[in-house]
Chain A
Amino acid sequence: MNPAVREAEILVVGGGAAGLCAAAEAAVAGARVLVLESDLHLGGQLVKQTHKFFGSKDEFAGTRGFKIAGKILDEMASCKDKIETVTNANVMGYYPEDGVVTVMVGEDEYFKVKPARIVMATGAQERLIAFPNNDLPGVYGAGAVQTLMNVYGVSPGDRVLMVGAGNIGLIVSYQLMQAGVQVAAILEAMPNIGGYWVHAAKIRRLGVPILLRHTIKAALGDVVVEGAIVRSLANGETFKIDCDIICLAVGLSPTAEILWQAGCEMKYVPELCGYVPIRNARQRTTNDDVWVAGDAAGIEEASSAMVEGRIAGLDAAASLGYEIDESRFGVYEERLKALRSGETASRIRAGLARVSANGFLGGMTSDGFQ
């Protein structure tokens, strides 16, 4: 227990793709950075991703997600005298009166930090859907299945019914197959897969059916999951699928609690999957001391989360008076623009247009770039 209030120039909340890049960038600029991560290790979602990432070379395309985390940690190690990281440290609250942040370490240790600047990079939370028996053991979120399988090396079960054919549902299905777990089927309510077509194609080749316009009606079982009732949205027919795991991959919502506490102006933006803070082109929120980056700013991808983190870290360092190379912003903004320029990112563009303080996004509009 340390009742004293710790000082920090820049506090980064969350040690995922966005937070780690923010920390590296701010430290390179000269700022002293404290990274607090509630998990037992750094890396966020990246450490669970065994597949190769998309994107361009700048965002490590073609590299497996967990290796990307390692690369950013290596970068941080090159300025380790500037960066302190604490894992198992859950940021619980922000007190706007004095800007103090409260932190729980493990179950019974507690401390306070008074940072000059904060980068919020708290990532996302999984959504669940309601259906009878969804509280049976064996009903998991995709994140939990990934943690079991890819972090702890524990097989979640023998036969999985995946709900949701977005990228997460498709990728986790593939990872399950790699782990030797059967995937009975992937259900998708929409008339087309939501994730990248190639992710679906590689699962289909392995013989996994994707049932479009189908949803889960109920989980079956007394003590644990023994199957599921599936319903066609096209004709209302129901049928049973045998499985011992039901894995929900039905979307994420930005983790925004501390942003609310910090008094940031928030807006509900369906395209970004929930409440997100209004911010300027440098990721700065309406609370001048607070920046946001990554999934906490809107559900997107690690590639853009990393770039947003870099912009936030750089700008936070600049605001403290550290000398930075202004042209970096231009480079990062170009990268974001490229990542967001395709059809698959049209939702993101529409969402960003709604949270941009005074239309900053370099002429970006919801249907493209001017």
Chain B
Amino acid sequence: MASSNLPVDRSFESGVLNGECPGAVLPPECLWKKKKNGFALIECPQRIPCNPCATSCPAGAVRPFADINDVPRVDYEKCTGCALCVAACPGLACFVVDLTYGEDLALVKLPYEMLPVPSAGDEVDCVDRTGGVAGRGSVVGVSEPLKDHTRVVSVSVKKDIVSDVRAIRTVN
């Protein structure tokens, strides 16, 4: 669907994350590698008045906001990787990455509000932050935790692309 002939702006100012910053940090690698079910990764680097990630977390792992404009911070002692934040975030900015899924495979849980809704077993294109295909993935499960049409799609991907995959595109 992308317009292939136009230049691809990868600047932060155009909505593309390129590197860690407050509101968009990665879990500490040593904990993350061993954490069953994975950790939440939040990419919300701008202070905006919004807090459902914190108020919806059943484990209290998105630290409570002192100010509603705070950027989210994850407490990795508490995060269970349940992916409720993935379903709750109005900005679709929460993901869960489980590095323990397989030898070479990681499980990425991402928010999905498009049609068609994929099913477990489907092969999908896994795309990066500008919509470029980072690789293929296999849908492991699709849930709708809040019953509000935001699906959480769990897709297994090669470990070497986990830091790029932020959406999926169904293929026929």
The interface of chain A, by Cβ under 8 A from chain B, is 51-57, 61-64, 177-178, 180, 182, 184-185, 191-193, 196-212, 241, 303, 338-345
Contacts and interface: CB of A to CB of B under 8 A. Distances in A.
B114 interface: yes
Contacts of B20: none
Nearest to A200: B15
Contacts of B55: 56-57, 61
Nearest to B87: A62
Contacts of A191: 13
A56 B52 CA distance: 7
Contacts of B14: 192-193, 200, 204, 210, 212
Contacts of A180: 115
Given A202-B91, A206-B167, A212 B3 contact: no
Nearest to A59: B49
B47 interface: yes
A193 B114 CA distance: 23
A205 B47 contact: no
B96 to A, nearest CB: 16
A178 B150 CA distance: 12
Contacts, number: 151
Nearest to A179: B115
Given A196-B91, A198-B44, 8 more contacts: A57-B52, A61-B55, A177-B1, A205-B129, A207-B1, A207-B130, A211-B6, A212-B14
B47 A55 contact: no
Name B's interface SS.
loop
A51 B49 contact: no
Given A196-B48, A303-B49, A210 B15 contact: yes
A291 to B, nearest CB: 24
Nearest to A209: B6
Interface residues of B, number: 48
Given A196-B91, A204-B16, A210-B9, A338 B56 contact: no
Given A206-B1, A211-B6, A61 B113 contact: no
A206 B132 CA distance: 9
B170 interface: no
A51 B13 contact: no
A55 B50 contact: yes
Interface of B: 1-3, 6-9, 11, 13-17, 43-52, 55-56, 67-69, 88-93, 113-115, 127-132, 148-150, 166-167
B86 to A, nearest CB: 12
Contact of A202 (B1, B6, B8, B92): B92
B50 to A, nearest CB: 4
Contact of A342 (B43, B69, B129): B69
B85 to A, nearest CB: 11
A204 B129 contact: yes
B49 A204 contact: no
B131 A184 contact: no
20 contacts: A52-B90, A54-B49, A55-B68, A62-B88, A185-B3, A193-B15, A196-B48, A198-B91, A201-B15, A202-B93, A203-B15, A205-B131, A206-B167, A212-B9, A212-B14, A338-B68, A339-B68, A341-B49, A341-B69, A342-B49
A201 B129 contact: yes
Contacts of B44: 197-198
A201 B129 CA distance: 7
Contacts of A206: 1, 114, 127, 131, 167
Contacts of A61: 50-52, 55, 90
- Which of A55, A178, A241 has the largest number of chain B CB atoms within 10 A? A55
B35 to A, nearest CB: 25
Contacts of B68: 55-56, 338-339, 341-342
Given A200-B14, A204-B16, A204-B130, A209 B49 contact: no
Contact of A344 (B48, B51, B52): B48
Given A62-B56, A178-B113, A343-B47, A209 B2 contact: yes
Contacts of A343: 46-47, 69
Contacts of B49: 54-56, 303, 338-342, 344-345
Contacts of B93: 198, 201-202
B157 to A, nearest CB: 15
Contacts of B69: 341-344
B47 A201 contact: no
Best-surrounded residue of B2, B14, B44 (most CB of chain A within 10 A) = B14
B48 A54 contact: yes
A212 B13 contact: yes
Nearest to A205: B167
